[in-house]
Amino acid sequence: MIALCVFLAWASAFWAHEHLQPRTSKLLPLTTVSKRLYQCVRACAPALALLLCLYRDFEEGVLYWLSLGAVAGLAVSLLMAALKHKQSGRL
């Protein structure tokens, strides 16, 4: 359960990061409020994920944090690629 929460926290951070990039904001424009929200998520979600990992297992917590983060990043990357392809296909 904690692993799933860590994965989702990282995924949301990567999602926010990608949405803040100029190439994505051209396709999917952001309001000022959502921009601030994404910046907050991008900063806080990994920190929350680290706390959860250290709570689960102090010794191996950092390993869980890094590897779940990497896997989440890969998942979001693939999802974003598919979404952008679909979006650019519609335009």
3-class state of residue 49 by DSSP = helix
80 belongs to the binding site for another protein (CB under 8 A): yes
Burial status of residue 84 (CB atoms within 10 A of its CB: 0-12, 13-18, 19 or more): middle
CB hemisphere CA count around 22 (13 angstroms): 0
39 belongs to the binding site for another protein (CB under 8 A): no
77 belongs to the binding site for another protein (CB under 8 A): yes
From 29-37, 43-51, 74-82, span contacting another protein (CB under 8 A):
74-82
Residues that bind another protein (CB under 8 A): 3, 14, 17-18, 21, 23, 57, 59-60, 63-64, 66-71, 73-74, 76-78, 80-81, 85
